[in-house]
Amino acid sequence: MSGRQAEAGGGRFLSFEGIDGAGKSSHIETVAERWRAQGLEVLCTREPGGTGLAETLRELVLHQPMDALTEALLVFAARRDHLQRQVEPALARGAAVLCDRFTDATFAYQGAGRGFDPAVLAVLERWVQQDAQGRLREPQLTLWFDIDPALAAQRLAAARVPDRFERLDGAFFERVRGGYAERAAAAPQRFVRIDAAQPRDAVAAQVQQALAARGW
């Protein structure tokens, strides 16, 4: 176990990452149903969000204009509450936590996408996610749903009214995609790239293969 990864207390912590329109969210419930059928307690959650306070902060981040530092501070404040009230207690019980985005999204969106200093994000990450023993809470496995931003935009246009981020241009999402690629390259033991441009069944097979490789 790396010095950055806090003990999971017997639980499983899995994050699903990718740009808007990658289709990651539709696979979370499939995994949850499979694990529940195996007798596991499963918490499906998201970031920003997962608690009353964090959901309130999410609405601000998604719909109110603000600069990148304000975004980052609100996202990490939501993450702190989410960790303390939901994620850590669930992992301590031995539950499986399936999280729709986590800190990698902050480095991809606010860092690479918005051009905010990643060194400042790293400081906030340590403040928010470090335990009393100096270990950093991270997912044990991150599934990165990688897709061309143009295709993702086509999917979004048919799905819902876009939020403040989803209305940004293709160049922004290219930077975000690059940010995810940098995070994946820096943590290959944690990341698994999923080709999200494939048909749903093929994507689901990739997800299952990644879980099976972990003995999950």
Binding-site members for ATP are 18-25
Phi and psi based region of residue 84 (left: phi greater than 0; alpha: psi -120 to 50; beta: remaining)? alpha
Could you give the CA distance from residue 85 to residue 82 in angstroms, rounded to a whole number?
Answer: 5
Could you give the CA distance from residue 111 to residue 104 in angstroms, rounded to a whole number?
Answer: 10
Could you give the CA distance from residue 90 to residue 208 in angstroms, rounded to a whole number?
Answer: 23
On the CB side of 182, CA atoms within 13 Å amount to: 16
Question: Could you say which DSSP state residue 4 is in?
Answer: T
DSSP 177-189: HHHHHHHHHH-TT
- Cβ atoms within 10 Å, residue 138: 21
Beta strands of the chain (E only): which ranges? 12-17, 42-46, 96-100, 141-146, 191-195
Tokens of 41: 């307690």
Question: Could you say which DSSP state residue 42 is in?
Answer: E
Which residues are known binding-site members? Answer: 18-25
